[in-house]
Amino acid sequence: MALIRWQPFQELETLHRQMDQMFDDMSGLTRNHQTTWKPAIELQDTDDHVILRAEIPGIEGKDLDVRVTRDAVAITGEHRYEKKAEEKGFFRSEFRYGKFGRVIPLPVAVKNDQVQADFTNGILTLTLPKVESAKNRVVKLNLVESAAVLETSQEQQVDTETNDVWESKPAEPATV
């Protein structure tokens, strides 16, 4: 199970939109950019990729707008109602029409310039490669039982993200 980073500003933006929509509903006002539904998604985190699948039935690819950043995917579009000339016998419709949109925060940073997309049978599949630093790395730790076993040599370490170099020295044994 992957953990998703908490993004407080995105949460505040969502709360702001919901409050605006609530007050608009109470006052009878509508906005042109109001969304009426959100597509259902599946998010899978593999070793090298994040795979996002969104269920968007009845929509053509030309009606979708998909934007990818390093840490989120935004999907928007509109399912237009097609009025037919003759609609006799039409009793009930549960289809969703209107504008839709969803912003999906990603669990890790991705290479947004190398995304592969497929839209087949109403399912949008995005394969998002992870950035190198976001891949799970296994690091072997050497545990020391006593201060006498500590090495006396100095090691130089490099932070791969910032290229900062620092030296680590073994801890001095405590004297009492």
Cα(94)–Cα(84) distance, integer angstroms: 17
Extents of the domains making up the chain: 8-28+41-132
Rounded Cα distance between 89 and 72, Å, is: 44
pLDDT tens-place string over residues 45-90: 999 999 999 999 888 888 899 999 999 999 999 877 766 656 667 6
What was the pLDDT predicted at 133? 77
Query: What pTM did the predictor assign?
Result: 0.55
> What is the predicted pLDDT for the residue at 10?
76
Task: Give yes or no for residue 168 having a pLDDT over 70.
Answer: no
- Architecture of 8-28+41-132 per CATH? Sandwich (2.60)
